[in-house]
Structure 1
Amino acid sequence: MEEAVEGCVALLRTATGADWRGPDWEKATAGRLEWSCRYTAEHIAGDLIAYAGQLAGRAQNAYFPFDIAFDDGTDNSGVLEVIWTTGALLAAAVRTTPREVRAFHPYPFRSASREGFAAMGTAEVLLHTHDIAEGLGLTYQPDPELAEFVLTRIFPHVRPGASPWLTLLWATGRGDLPGRAPVTDWRWHNNLVHDTDRLTLQGITPASATDLIGGGDGGFEWIEGGPYTGTREAATFLLKAYQSGVHRPEFGVFTLVRREDGRAVGGLGFHGVPDEAGRVEVGYDLAAGARGQGYATEALRALSAWALARDDVRTVFATIERDNLASQAVVTRAGFRKVSEDEVEGEFAYELSRPE
């Protein structure tokens, strides 16, 4: 995020001072927005300080009731100084906020982690610098890695393209991509988190999935023995869906994180979106050190209840190997019933349906 702010300020500083002969910031419209370039620059600073406040104050239900105000007579150079400062404040809040903390943001799931706020702040800077640059007649080309950082964290529903920057512009209604319809309405998506008594089920982003596939921890602190093989395999399917443009994050993969110490103990998730009959498949695993403590049952109950409360889900099912007695016990305790056996594959099928 600091790199994004640095690039923003460096570019826009060229359009300040007595030797600037380009458009007036107050009169020039910022790109496709209805705002002036001056107002858009002030908006960047306002968003950065608001996000810093949400994280630092641990806001839970709404935005904190404060706003930023510029002194009378603040020139454009002064606005850039405020962008620089508010960017530093958000970066400091991100660095010092524990990974497990979530603070209020209105959409889509009413909260975001420090990584989510970093991605949102970076998006605000990149996109609105682009808008201002268009209005002032400047050329702006940020580092593609910054755009990819944003896309893989808060645009998991957007199929990646050859150019992360052009894809981000398209996804936010600021540009066109061959073969894709213009975007007229958009929102980013922070990851979904489900709460249980002892766990939080934290949605895995494409960025986390990429790290897990590469042998990393996905950004989580795991107990010994984690992440288990199934979680890494599930991350592979998630990333394939993301790359194909069919990933729906609410039907993705979740890391099971203990409330007591913030450590990840396993993974749980869907194999895809519900089919036409409203059936959706679920799978799970735990690190060896977390087994036998009811974590999988607790998580499965919560995720199944969430799914069955939706209009597009009627049945949650799971297939389990005949010899995996522990996993069979998990689904049974979660309320599933055995509905069939596959003699060839050596698997049992279990279902939990919405009450009629």
Structure 2
Amino acid sequence: MLVLSLEAARLYRNGKLGSAPCNGATVTGLLTAINCYNVKWVTRVQDTFTLTKILALLVTFFASLWYLYNGHTENLEDMMQGTTKSPENIAVAFYSGLFSYSGWNYLNFVTEELKDPYRNLPRAICISMPVVTVVYTLTNFAYFVVLTNTEILSSLAVAVTFSEKILGFMAWIMPLFVACSTFGSLNGAIYASSRLFFVGARSGHLPSAISLIDVKRLTPVPSLIFMCLVTLLLLLPNNVESLLVCVTFVESVFILSSITGLLWMRYTRPRAHRPIKVNIMLPIIFFVICTFLVIFPCFSHPLEVGIGIAFIALGVPTYYVFIVWQNKPSWLIFACDSFNMMCAKLFLCLPEDSKEL
């Protein structure tokens, strides 16, 4: 939900599509409706806007080559001037970079809907990550070719500043590309994250209402609606930098926990069957990086880190009250059952294993 809020806030800040923060909320609601209505529509939207993003990045790179061909090499001479080497600032800088690659994590949420996931999941990751890395590296090189350090640091949307300086009368196309890119990212985040909440509820870690499925369209409507409402609530501050630090810190904490569990299981159960297994050095390196990303931002952004920790801590009493606590009073059981029944009737949904589906 924090990730969705960040994507929605970026749609407003970077897209320049209007003067009110309600743009992000409007698009979040629209994409939630599409995800509720038809999964095929979701995949078509995702494919279309992914191609749009790639086109925008290619336009950026080739425009910079033209600029470089005309003899403009002055920005490359001092592009690293003013670089800071403090660990806390490096960690926060990694946050922005890691958010650009966060799609690798979403793919794991939808393995149930993949055909032959044991074969196609590693293939998708191994193909997409190098492609994304190359494209993003070339795009950043393009920015440094055309823009000065001051222009990059002062810009709210670097791609828009880039287009205003180099594309001339076609500069209007880049804000459109930026908005389309964010639109597609938000759509992918909604699609994948809703499955995470759905599976959590199905396993008993969230209210049962979130594990219900629409009887006609077979989409997790309650999960999508719940996610949309909380996302809109978190969108109110509309501070992209604070949301970015808070989002990536929380993600890094949970990823660190997961990779710690993986290393522990590799140590205690070395002969366990693993359909997908990688060299032990990869999770060890990942563990070191995640530890770095969790510890050092506490010194440079204590407020955002504190909010992230509070957000995590809020789930502990909620989990124990509604999930672990077995001898609940009758009024609480009645309230939970009534809420689940209300959601089922309101959204025309049933549990996944119902014969009526």
**TM-score, scaled relative to structure 1:** 0.27
Structure number with the higher strand fraction is: 1
The structure showing larger relative contact order (alpha-carbon pairs under 8 Å, at least 6 residues apart) is 2
**TM-score, scaled relative to structure 2:** 0.27
Structure number with the higher helix fraction is: 2
